[in-house]
Amino acid sequence: MMRFKFCRALLLLAAPLVLLPMLQSQQNGRGRKYKPPPPTCKISVTVVKSTDGKPVENASVVFHPIRGGKDEGNMELKTDEDGKTVINVVPIGDTVRVQVIAEGYQTYGGEYELPDDSKDIVIKLHRPGHQYSIYEKHPDQGASNQNGSGQSGSQQQTPPDTQKPQQ
């Protein structure tokens, strides 16, 4: 019985001696270092129609945080019935590239600086414009197109004096 009490007392005295070096390593800076995350900016994006200002529901808003000129990946959120989405993970002082994709509208893209703790962005989406075609006449081209012949590059005509008469 006496031996049991002696071992128990020895353990109680030895435990602080074992824990003391661990506590000192934390104080000396050799242990695990905790680095708190940087303060973040609350980014609120509102997506509306350019024609009447009504919200665009279920539009994809893609955030590309850029730190030091390097893209840090992307995060995608959908807009709610009010055309809004909010994100709060991009550090203050960074740049964010915002891309908005919605069915029936032109894709939008823009970069925004984040100098403060909040940023409100309103994006007006436009309907798609007329598709450009090389086969149509355009006022900025005049009578000739890029190859200078006035005809498309794949169609070549022979000069009028060398044409064969049709029978």
DSSP string, 64-123: EEEETTEE---EEEE--TTSEEEEEEEETT-EEEEEEE-TTS--EEEEEE--SSEEEEEE
Per-residue pLDDT reduced to its tens digit, 36-77: 989 999 999 999 999 999 999 999 999 999 988 888 899 999
Q: What is the pTM of this model?
A: 0.60
Q: How far apart are CA 76 and CA 81, in angstroms?
A: 17
Per-residue pLDDT reduced to its tens digit, 90-145: 999 999 999 999 999 999 999 999 999 999 999 999 999 887 788 888 787 665 54
Q: At 27, is the pLDDT very low, low, confident or very high (cuts 50, 70, 90)?
A: low
Beta-bridge partner residues of 67: 70
Q: How far apart are CA 24 and CA 34, in angstroms?
A: 16
100, with CB counted inside 10 A (0-12, 13-18, 19+), is buried
Q: DSSP code of 2?
A: H
Tokens of 1: 């019985």
Q: Are 92 and 63 a contacting pair, CB within 8 Å?
A: no
Lowest-confidence region among 8-17, 36-45, 143-152: 143-152
For 102-126, b/e burial (b = at least 16 CB within 10 A) is beebeebeeebebeeeebebebebe
Q: Are 120 and 113 a contacting pair, CB within 8 Å?
A: no
Q: Is the pLDDT of residue 167 over 90?
A: no
